[in-house]
């Protein structure tokens, strides 16, 4: 492996025959720049064109290669003009139908000709038909041989046909005869214990699986060749996160040795005592803060487990050390709620809390910026706005980020900049209510230490969850009426499939209007993302103080809103939401001592899958159980909120399918770093394209 001049990642695609600048540009669009990229551009699936199916055995919806003699070819008029060619073998007859065809094509398919075609049979008026099959008229004396490997179907893009991609892969594969062309970064000592194929064999196999290959295993992504690549990819990600972590660890942090004075006062003022879990996590944080390496800790705690108090304790430790703490939340509503909590808790201790969001403007903004810059505000609460360039901290030592799954890694890292002026990287505490299954947490957050608040404060009554169709809406409305007349409060949550916020808000407006008509005796509030912050604050305040009975909302209330008297929640079309999100929503009720109910009002008919998912909600109130199920039913991208955070996407690996591999990754990483430490970097470079690499971490 000394001669790197032959390494395929250094050979541009333009080396291949028939690849000019135009084609190279198209390939670049799908991330293919060199021959290694091309070989790692793996088929999405395969077609089996290695065997001929007797026409009589062709099945609906199953791709097949058929060979037959043309019995007739006619142009059918009907709704759309089409060319209809019937072919027959000893076992049966099938129709080939073309809606676009040339005269030459029509003439070629003459009676008596032998045709070999490939396509998917569908049901026609008189038996099976294939629309636009790929076909060849065979020369009976010298028929072209049929394929002897499974046919790969590659992820393509406009202007790049499958035939083109196949041709290019074949050319690239020919380079593999030189065994050093694709560098094997996993030494035998790593491959052997985990039974991993060598890289070249795996890549060759996946581009050209032999006809006897286990197609089903390949389709499921469980073939050893695929597992080898998935393993390598997961390993590369793990190593990359470890690297970030080490880089952060190497930074100078600011040890915070609190005096305990403020903490003691704060705890004495609280109307409750901390749960055992809160105490344990607070202690873990205290230890981290006292260290001179920056803290990087993720606190997981189910909805309502009391993370805010733990955050306040951490902030107090910073203040006791004459430093500043910042708390950042993903939404205005949540930031505001945190601000109110912190303000109420900390003001009696003589602490000033500043407040900054994107909507803080003009004089007010200047004022807050000055409080932050001068250090007069020891604690700052806000949204993303805290990242903006003109926000200068006097002495920021601790950044607390609530609901991490909505922040990207990059945003988290950007905070470091804010600590530049103290010559140390701020400690980071990340809090999330999304319970992330352990294996997933290990791979997605390998850069963080983990604390779990696994205990709810005493006196909570579990929420009773009811699943019913919206054909029973009138009964549900009546139920709301009775609960509210009884002095309780309720949420009515509207969801929409459309990503459009505007449409969601509109739906909530319409629903509020309808409910106001149906329930004239109730005072009904409405809250959605398009309202002004002041309006939202007023509506929230009215609900909190019990002036309104029912709050109609979009999913903006998902996180954090805390109104203990609210004991009933209706969620419309819950089948559209992820289980973790439903769990978050449901967590808004059941915060007091009264029995609470959550009605999941789906729109029938509900699929089997949909039923199972809602069943999970009915049967469990444990966020971890729900998250495990969600992972099983929807996949990790959704669970982690990948779409929001831009968390890295895997190319080959699938966190759900490959979760057994995850268990081995940590050990393999250690083994690799022992055996071949210099291989770690090239491995990361191979799998994490620049955009995803947290290089400047």
Which residues sit at the interface with ligand ADP, rule CB under 6 A?
A: 272, 274-275, 278, 301, 303-309, 433, 457, 560, 562, 591
User: What span, in angstroms and rounded, lies between the C-alpha atoms of 554 and 4?
Assistant: 57
CA nearest 581: which of 656, 643, 647, 506? 643
CB of 430 to Mg ion, least distance (A): 12
Q: In DSSP terms, which residues pair with 300 in a beta bridge? A: 432, 452
Tokens of 553: 């909302």
User: What span, in angstroms and rounded, lies between the C-alpha atoms of 286 and 295?
Assistant: 10
Collapsed DSSP state (helix, strand, coil) of residue 168: helix
Angle CA 670–673–676, to nearest 5: 135
Out of ligand ADP, Mg ion, none, what residue 226 binds, judged by CB under 5 to 8 A for its kind, is none
CB of 457 to ligand ADP, least distance (A): 3
Our CB check for ligand ADP shows the closer of 50 and 308 to be 308
Out of Mg ion, ligand ADP, none, what residue 306 binds, judged by CB under 5 to 8 A for its kind, is ligand ADP
**Which residues touch 487 (CB under 8 Å, ≥6 apart)?**
none
DSSP 692: G
Our CB check for Mg ion shows the closer of 560 and 590 to be 560
Q: List residues near Mg ion by CB under 5 A.
A: 560
Our CB check for ligand ADP shows the closer of 274 and 625 to be 274
CB of 566 to ligand ADP, least distance (A): 12
CB of 305 to ligand ADP, least distance (A): 4
Cβ atoms of 168 and 174 within 8 Å: the answer is no
The distance of Cα 198 from the centroid of its chain, to the nearest Å, equals 30
CB of 304 to ligand ADP, least distance (A): 5
CB of 582 to ligand ADP, least distance (A): 15
Out of Mg ion, ligand ADP, none, what residue 679 binds, judged by CB under 5 to 8 A for its kind, is none
CB of 303 to ligand ADP, least distance (A): 5
CB of 558 to Mg ion, least distance (A): 11
Our CB check for Mg ion shows the closer of 481 and 588 to be 588
CB of 328 to Mg ion, least distance (A): 13
Our CB check for ligand ADP shows the closer of 86 and 307 to be 307
Out of ligand ADP, Mg ion, none, what residue 305 binds, judged by CB under 5 to 8 A for its kind, is ligand ADP
Our CB check for Mg ion shows the closer of 150 and 281 to be 281
CB of 634 to ligand ADP, least distance (A): 22
Our CB check for ligand ADP shows the closer of 112 and 458 to be 458
Residue 195: CB atoms within 10 A of its CB come to: 10
Our CB check for ligand ADP shows the closer of 95 and 341 to be 341
Out of ligand ADP, Mg ion, none, what residue 319 binds, judged by CB under 5 to 8 A for its kind, is none
Q: At what angle do helices 224-250 and 680-687 cross, to 10 degrees?
A: 110
Residues in the chain: 697
User: What span, in angstroms and rounded, lies between the C-alpha atoms of 54 and 52?
Assistant: 7
Our CB check for ligand ADP shows the closer of 555 and 671 to be 555
CA nearest 601: which of 493, 485, 481, 480? 493
Out of Mg ion, ligand ADP, none, what residue 208 binds, judged by CB under 5 to 8 A for its kind, is none
User: What span, in angstroms and rounded, lies between the C-alpha atoms of 351 and 378?
Assistant: 6
CB of 527 to Mg ion, least distance (A): 18
Out of Mg ion, ligand ADP, none, what residue 304 binds, judged by CB under 5 to 8 A for its kind, is ligand ADP
Cβ atoms of 662 and 459 within 8 Å: the answer is no
Out of Mg ion, ligand ADP, none, what residue 200 binds, judged by CB under 5 to 8 A for its kind, is none
Out of ligand ADP, Mg ion, none, what residue 274 binds, judged by CB under 5 to 8 A for its kind, is ligand ADP
CA nearest 536: which of 551, 522, 546? 551
DSSP 359: T
Q: Is residue 495 exposed (0-12), middle (13-18) or buried (19+ Cβ within 10 Å)?
A: buried
Our CB check for ligand ADP shows the closer of 180 and 562 to be 562
Q: In DSSP terms, which residues pair with 570 in a beta bridge? A: 492, 599
Our CB check for Mg ion shows the closer of 323 and 584 to be 584
Out of ligand ADP, Mg ion, none, what residue 68 binds, judged by CB under 5 to 8 A for its kind, is none
Out of Mg ion, ligand ADP, none, what residue 303 binds, judged by CB under 5 to 8 A for its kind, is ligand ADP
Out of ligand ADP, Mg ion, none, what residue 324 binds, judged by CB under 5 to 8 A for its kind, is none
CA nearest 39: which of 171, 232, 230? 171
Cβ atoms of 515 and 523 within 8 Å: the answer is no
Tokens of 130: 């294939």
Our CB check for ligand ADP shows the closer of 120 and 562 to be 562
Strand ranges for 77-172 from DSSP E: 82-89, 92-98, 114-119, 122-124, 127-131, 134-138, 151-153
Our CB check for ligand ADP shows the closer of 559 and 668 to be 559
CB of 523 to Mg ion, least distance (A): 27
User: What span, in angstroms and rounded, lies between the C-alpha atoms of 124 and 293?
Assistant: 70
Out of ligand ADP, Mg ion, none, what residue 243 binds, judged by CB under 5 to 8 A for its kind, is none
Tell me which H or E stretch contains 224: helix 224-250
Looking at beta carbons, which residue is closest to ligand ADP? 306
CB of 341 to Mg ion, least distance (A): 9
Strand ranges for 396-533 from DSSP E: 396-402, 427-432, 449-453, 464-469, 489-493, 524-527
Looking at beta carbons, which residue is closest to Mg ion? 560
Determine the straight-line distance between the first and last CA of the chain, rounded to whole angstroms: 30
Cβ atoms of 316 and 448 within 8 Å: the answer is no
């Amino acid at each position: 492996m000394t001669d790197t001049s032959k390494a395929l990642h250094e050979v541009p695609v333009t080396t291949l025959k028939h690849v000019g600048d135009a084609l190279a540009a198209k390939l670049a669009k799908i991330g293919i720049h060199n021959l290694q990229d091309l070989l790692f551009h793996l088929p999405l699936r395969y077609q089996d064109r290695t065997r001929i199916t007797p026409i009589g055995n062709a099945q609906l919806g199953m791709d097949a290669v058929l060979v037959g003699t043309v019995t007739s070819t006619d142009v059918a008029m009907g709704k759309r003009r089409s060319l209809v060619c019937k072919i027959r073998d000893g076992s049966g007859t099938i129709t080939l139908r073309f809606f676009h065809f040339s005269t030459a094509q029509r003439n070629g398919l003459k009676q008596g000709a032998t045709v070999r075609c490939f396509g998917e049979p569908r049901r026609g008026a008189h038996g099976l038909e294939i629309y636009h099959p790929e076909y060849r008229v065979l020369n009976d004396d010298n028929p072209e041989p049929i394929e002897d490997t499974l046919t790969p179907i590659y992820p393509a893009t406009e202007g790049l046909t499958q035939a083109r991609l196949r041709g290019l892969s074949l050319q690239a594969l020919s380079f593999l005869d030189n065994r050093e062309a694709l560098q094997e970064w996993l030494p035998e000592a790593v491959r052997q214990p985990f039974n991993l194929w060598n890289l070249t064999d795996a890549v060759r196999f996946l581009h050209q699986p032999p006809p006897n290959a286990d197609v089903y295993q390949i389709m499921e992504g469980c073939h050893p060749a695929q597992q080898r690549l998935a393993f390598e990819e997961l390993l590369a990600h793990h190593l990359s996160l470890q690297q970030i972590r080490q880089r952060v660890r190497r930074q100078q942090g600011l040890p915070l040795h609190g005096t305990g004075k403020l903490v003691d006062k704060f705890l004495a003022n609280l109307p409750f005592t901390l749960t055992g879990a809160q105490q344990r996590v607070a202690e873990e944080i205290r230890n981290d803060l006292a260290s001179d390496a920056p803290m990087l800790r993720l606190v997981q705690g189910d909805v309502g487990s009391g993370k805010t108090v733990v955050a306040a304790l951490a902030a107090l430790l910073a203040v006791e050390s004459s430093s500043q703490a910042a708390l950042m939340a993903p939404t205005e509503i949540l930031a505001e709620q945190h601000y109110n909590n912190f303000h109420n808790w900390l003001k009696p201790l003589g602490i000033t809390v500043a407040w900054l969001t994107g909507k803080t403007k003009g004089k007010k903004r200047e004022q807050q910026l000055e409080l932050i810059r001068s250090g007069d505000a020891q604690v700052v609460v806000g949204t993303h706005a805290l990242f903006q360039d003109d926000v200068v901290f006097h002495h920021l030592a601790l950044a607390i980020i609530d609901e991490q799954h909505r922040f990207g890694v990059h945003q988290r890292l950007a905070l470091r900049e804010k600590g530049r002026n103290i010559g140390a990287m701020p400690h980071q505490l990340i809090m999330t209510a999304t319970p992330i299954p352990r294996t997933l947490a290990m791979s997605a957050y390998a850069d963080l230490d983990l604390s779990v608040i696994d205990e709810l404060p005493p006196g909570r009554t579990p929420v009773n969850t009811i699943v019913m169709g919206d054909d029973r809406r009138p009964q549900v409305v009546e139920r709301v009426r009775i609960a509210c007349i009884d002095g309780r409060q309720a949420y009515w949550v509207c969801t929409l499939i459309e990503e459009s916020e505007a449409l969601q808000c509109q739906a909530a407006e319409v629903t509020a209007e309808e409910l106001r008509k149906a329930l004239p005796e109730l005072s009904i509030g409405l809250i959605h993302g398009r309202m002004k912050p002041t309006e939202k604050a007023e509506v929230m305040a009215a609900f909190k103080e019990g002036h309104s009975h029912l709050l109609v909302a979009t999913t903006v209330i998902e996180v954090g809103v805390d109104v203990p008297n609210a004991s009933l929640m209706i969620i419309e079309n819950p089948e559209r939401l992820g289980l973790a999100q439903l769990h978050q929503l449901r967590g808004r009720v059941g915060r007091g001592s009264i029995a609470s109910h959550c009605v999941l009002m789906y729109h029938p008919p509900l699929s089997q899958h949909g039923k199972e998912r809602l069943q999970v909600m009915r049967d469990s109130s444990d966020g971890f159980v729900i998250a495990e199920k969600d992972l099983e039913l929807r996949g990790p991208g959704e669970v982690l909120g990948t779409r929001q955070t831009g968390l890295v996407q895997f190319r080959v690996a699938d966190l759900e399918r490959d979760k057994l591999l995850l268990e081995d990754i940590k050990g393999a990483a250690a083994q690799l770093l022992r055996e071949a430490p210099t291989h770690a970097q090239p491995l990361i470079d191979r799998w994490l394209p620049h955009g995803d690499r947290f290089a400047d971490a």
